[in-house]
Amino acid sequence: MKKFTTLLCILTISITTFSQKMPGIDKSPLDMAYYPDNFAHDRKFAPKLIGDLPAITRVIYSRPAKREREIFGGMVKYNEVWRMGANEAVEIKFYRDVMVKGNKVKAGTYALYAIPNATEWTIILSTDLDQWGTYSYTEEKDVLRVNVPTEKTGEVVENFTIQFVKSTDNEATMKLAWDTTLVEVSIGF
């Protein structure tokens, strides 16, 4: 009888556990961008990732959707620090020392923020990692601030997007786009 009662308890717990609903899919799914963009899927052995340093940078971010909302100057306030995207602040990793818009940045991992306005954004690199939103953002942990002009996209970009494109043999451009706004940040290596 003890074995039957124990088995019945285990089954009840298992059924209860598995019958609970899984949380829904995140409305702002996580994404990742590399430069060079083929780095992540062309590598056969992850342990060699740093060995010959083929990667320059990696960005991990969430991709909220526009969903017919006013984005810049509306949901994303002008002249306020923005985490770029949703959920946790964007994380950018440089696998080697780089030049961000002409400013030297040491290899390492940083939080990436912006202060947007209609004509330009201030791009911020901070050492304060693992932050949800900008609630605990502090300017004292900034390692870099650069201003970049905004441009209009040819069409609406529904989900916040970060991509890298090759500019020259020694430089890439990080493109950040959402709604009809695009900013570009040069990264030299």
Domain boundaries, the chain: 28-188
Q: For position 46, what pLDDT does the model report?
A: 43
Mean pLDDT of 90-97: 94
pLDDT greater than 50 at residue 179: yes
Global pTM value: 0.80
Residue appearing with tokens 């932050």? 131
Q: For position 63, what pLDDT does the model report?
A: 94
Pairing status of strand 171-188 against strand 98-100: antiparallel
Mean pLDDT of 125-147: 92
d(CA 145, CA 126): 9
Mean pLDDT computed over every residue of the chain: 84
Cβ neighbours, 10 Å, residue 164:
21
What's the CA dihedral at 112, 116, 119, 125 to 10 degrees?
-20
Mean pLDDT of 142-161: 96
Q: What is each CA distance from 30 to 54, 64, 105, 125, 144, in whole angstroms?
A: 24, 9, 25, 20, 25
Q: For position 29, what pLDDT does the model report?
A: 78
pLDDT single digits (tens) 21-56: 666 777 787 888 988 866 555 554 444 444 455 578
